[in-house]
Structure 1
Amino acid sequence: MTDTIAPPVAQTSLPVPSALPAPEPLVQRRLLQTQIPGPRSVELQRRREAEVSGGFGVTLPVFVEQASGAIVLDVDGNQLIDLASGIAVTSVGASAPEVVAAVAEQAARFTHTCFMVTEYDGFVDVAAALNRLTPGDHEKRTALFTTGAEAVENAIKIARTATGREAVVVLDHAYHGRTLLTMTMTAKHVPYKAGFGPYAPEVYRAPMAYPFRAPGGPERATEDALARLEEIVLTQIGADRVAAIVAEPIQGEGGFIVPSPGFLPGVAEFARRHGIVFIADEIQTGFGRTGRMFASEHEGIVPDLITTAKALAGGMPLSAVTGRAELMNAVPPGSIGGTYAGNPVACAAALAAIEIIERDDLAGRARDIEHQVLPRLQALAAQTGIIGDVRGRGAMLAMELVKPGTTEPDAAAAKAIAAHCHAEGVITLVCGTFSNVIRLLPPLVIEPELLADALDVIEQAVREHAVQSAEAGA
């Protein structure tokens, strides 16, 4: 009897819709068609409130239709100048064409396999780029994850495994994330920690060298903060129990605080002396944001481990821990990772974003932004009397609002000034331990004329509030 082979069964598939044409890039100018938020955004906001957890806050309740460069187009046709960059994420500009193309090409090939199941070269390519770009010429290894908090938490796991120690030291005003461990490491109670206790154990806090609010004055900020940190570690914790000291080279959510000169090098040297891993949290400061590829470079700091995210992948979720090979290899196989860690689409976006940052010298563009913005903010501070401090580096700049003639934080002023900017089509963010800091995080590709327009709006907002404050106090 002859075997017969059944003919192949025809495979059926759903029809694949043709790709929609890419929208034209937005003209880079501010345009208001309605009040902010407009009627369509208000309508969608009501639906959001009926469907989404109230635990999500919102800075500006507008719904986005499109974004490109430094402009956000909302569903009411308003074009807003973006001085937030999705909190320092879209440094290469929103929907950068190279990033979009890389995402589309990779998504068409495969969107996911899990790197711990089957591998792909994009993961390795991103690791190689980070090993090359991060400070120091020592041998490095990189691990990829998804969120900034995940990177920080894994850096702590690596430091604890490598040292055999448990304690972690962080700084006043720090922000490191929203997971249990990183929330514990974060300084500000509301909204990040309230009601979420008990907190993770073995996390200790030391002073930050915050020049504007240093108890002994800015000239003593470094000396006093270092002395206090050493005292806490040596007498209260025990240096032989400390796995890591974690610091943001410029503090983000805490108020864009630039440490006084010499503080971070002093912390790094103290850590080395006692066998403590020094971790630089560069999640907000990395990839050209401060005028150098990494903010640690401003004072020649070479961290043992460095965490990155945000601008790494041009808007896609990707984070990393990069550091000394002997530390990164101290953890056993299978002990770190994650289902979506180093997703292939995000890796493709990262490679495109990194190429743009290097090719177009976006760190240099950040320095240009500083030169354009800082003098205007400093003049505004001198003329209005409600700005206690202007600070920052590159395109990570801020002004701290205070009650006139004092250093008392004025959260109401920051809120009112931000609201004025929002109403005029400029997206700004409030931050700081005392919620009194306006921070500016424009895309590094923002055009000078567009940035000047945004600064005009900010200046008007500050001046009007200063007049109102003077009238109220008269």
Structure 2
Amino acid sequence: MSTLYQRDEAVIAGIEKLRFFPLEVRSGLGSTLVSTDGRELLDLSATWTASGLGHGHPAVVEAVSRAIRSAPGAGGLSAVHPDSVGLAEDLLALVPGVGERRVYLGHAGSDANDVALRACRHATGRRTVIAFEHSYHGGVGVAMGVSGVHVDAGVRPDPDAVFLPYPNPYRPDDGDVRADVARCLELAEQHLAGGTIACVIVEPILSDGGLIVPPDGFLAKLHALCRRHDVPMICDEVKMGLGRPGTLHAFEHDGVVPDIVTFGKVLGGGLPLSAAVGPAEMLDHPPAAALLTTAGNPVSTAAGRAVLATIVGDDLPQRAAKVGALLAQGLHALNDEHIGDVRGRGLAIGLELIDPGTGERNPQLAAEVVYRAWQLGAVVYYVGGNVLEITPPLVITEAEAGRAVEIIGAAIADAVAGRVNSEEVARYAGW
């Protein structure tokens, strides 16, 4: 263990660590990270998608440099400035919706979801939230209490949360994913009909729960139920939205227009920034109910405007669709019996590792594979226990995608052959 890692263990709180291997980085450019010993690593996580434009993107560098030189204060709490207002206007122009709408600006997807949930409760006068098993919506407040991943880990669920099963085409509970969809929608209908539901919050792709892509039409059917019962739907696009799935918004795949859409991660280009876009009657009241002193600050909002302009101007959704298809094709071509499934949309790809004899999940193999991939020169993490979450920067090249396939293939082969020190891997618990 290096001196830097020892220093980290001595001073940084463990409650904010999620470690899979002893990763130390000193710089980055594009899809490449540089470790403290000068080793170059292919970034296949983009810091859980937060560095969606890669590292050191010139548009973000220029915007942040301009903003920091003469920043007018440190937030939008009691003042307005051009980039906070401009970012809100940009989002309203890019997010479909009807009627008068507002934008909440925050620091992370966690607070954006928390505010959206509380706003729905206040506006409807109801408290029950429908969420999904193994979902992730944040690490604070109400958002944490309706996150299935946290509940799975032992966090006390929100007392007014109802969790529905998220349809998983690869592992259908009833052996038929169509039956699972029907069962989920029937449960949703029962709860919605009771008149107690404040909102439904859903991820178009269940990310931290195993990068599960639901069957086509599922989101549309759920949205139709919400409309029928006049219950707002919150679509959590924090991790899977803004170009990554091959479309600007992940919810576009099913042709829905959610009542509230939340953003984070990639929106800030690596800086803390989030947003919730929704009806004015929900996000305007009660006044001063969601106060963060540095929310909407000039530096983060300048970065956000640069990120949105780049995603649209460089047509990164189309690029994600093209390079993502090549990456998925390469992973399929590995044809390894330990790969149970390759799924995803665009540059959001899940690779599920299994025991080939039983078809069961293989979390130990996943832990060893991501560790070995790091040794071989790539950063990739696992979610859902046994699924490699492959979410590289949206600027990854075709050549880099090819290298990613080679490293992942070699990492699987080495882990299966016993070339990974399991005792060393056990020091990094991951999820």
Output the TM-score relative to the length of structure 1: 0.84
- Residue number in structure 2 paired with 1:117: 78
Number of aligned residue pairs: 417
**Separation in 1 of the partners of 2:158 and 2:188?**
21
**Separation in 1 of the partners of 2:340 and 2:179?**
19
Q: Is the 8 A contact 2:118 2:142 kept in 1?
A: no
Matched, 1:210 2:171: no
- Residue number in structure 2 paired with 1:161: 122
**Separation in 1 of the partners of 2:164 and 2:192?**
9
With over 3 angstroms needed to count, the CA separation of the structure-2 counterparts of 1:243 and 1:44, relative to structure 1, is same
Partner-residue secondary structure (3-state), 1:357: helix
**Separation in 2 of the partners of 1:189 and 1:316?**
24
Q: Is the 8 A contact 2:20 2:367 kept in 1?
A: no
- Residue number in structure 1 paired with 2:262: 307
Among candidates 50, 54, 62, match of residue 101 of structure 1 = 62
- The CA deviation string for residues 147-178 of structure 1, in whole angstroms up to 9 with x for no partner, is 11100000011111221111111011201111
Letter in 1 for 2:395: V
Among candidates 242, 245, 249, match of residue 200 of structure 2 = 245
Among candidates 207, 223, 232, match of residue 182 of structure 2 = 223
**Separation in 2 of the partners of 1:281 and 1:396?**
15
Partner-residue secondary structure (3-state), 1:212: coil
Q: Is the 8 A contact 2:351 2:388 kept in 1?
A: yes
Shift of 1:193: 4.4
Shift of 1:384: 2.0
Larger Rg: 1
**Separation in 2 of the partners of 1:82 and 1:365?**
17
Matched, 1:445 2:403: no
Question: What does 1:215-294 align with in structure 2 at a 5 Å threshold?
Answer: 215-216=173-174, 217-234=176-193, 238=194, 240-294=195-249
**Separation in 2 of the partners of 1:242 and 1:170?**
11
Matched, 1:132 2:61: no
5+ unaligned residues in a row in structure 2: which ranges? 420-431
Partner-residue secondary structure (3-state), 1:384: coil
- Residue number in structure 1 paired with 2:317: 363
Shift of 1:200: 3.0
Matched, 1:422 2:374: yes
Among candidates 389, 404, 412, match of residue 454 of structure 1 = 404
Shift of 1:315: 0.8
- The CA deviation string for residues 315-361 of structure 1, in whole angstroms up to 9 with x for no partner, is 110001101333333x1322233112111100000111111111110
Shift of 1:462: 2.2
Partner-residue secondary structure (3-state), 2:309: helix
- Residue number in structure 1 paired with 2:338: 386
**Separation in 1 of the partners of 2:206 and 2:96?**
19
- The CA deviation string for residues 117-148 of structure 1, in whole angstroms up to 9 with x for no partner, is 22112111111111111133544221101111
Shift of 1:257: 0.7
**Separation in 2 of the partners of 1:372 and 1:350?**
29
Letter in 1 for 2:408: I
- The CA deviation string for residues 202-225 of structure 1, in whole angstroms up to 9 with x for no partner, is 111111111112122234332232
Q: Is the 8 A contact 2:77 2:294 kept in 1?
A: no
Moved more, 275-284 or 58-67: 58-67
**Separation in 2 of the partners of 1:326 and 1:51?**
44
Letter in 1 for 2:346: G
Partner-residue secondary structure (3-state), 2:14: coil
**Separation in 1 of the partners of 2:171 and 2:192?**
22
Letter in 1 for 2:105: L
**Separation in 2 of the partners of 1:376 and 1:220?**
32
Shift of 1:49: 1.1
- Residue number in structure 2 paired with 1:412: 364
Letter in 1 for 2:96: P
- Residue number in structure 2 paired with 1:178: 139
Partner-residue secondary structure (3-state), 1:87: coil
**Separation in 1 of the partners of 2:140 and 2:390?**
26
Partner-residue secondary structure (3-state), 2:271: coil
Matched, 1:64 2:25: yes
Shift of 1:201: 2.1
Moved more, 248-257 or 459-468: 459-468
**Separation in 2 of the partners of 1:448 and 1:111?**
41
Output the TM-score relative to the length of structure 2: 0.92
Matched, 1:376 2:291: no
With over 3 angstroms needed to count, the CA separation of the structure-2 counterparts of 1:459 and 1:138, relative to structure 1, is farther
Matched, 1:335 2:292: no
Partner-residue secondary structure (3-state), 2:47: helix
With over 3 angstroms needed to count, the CA separation of the structure-2 counterparts of 1:274 and 1:232, relative to structure 1, is closer
Partner-residue secondary structure (3-state), 2:33: strand
- The CA deviation string for residues 280-328 of structure 1, in whole angstroms up to 9 with x for no partner, is 0000011101111110001101100000000112111000110133333
Q: Is the 8 A contact 1:69 1:96 kept in 2?
A: yes
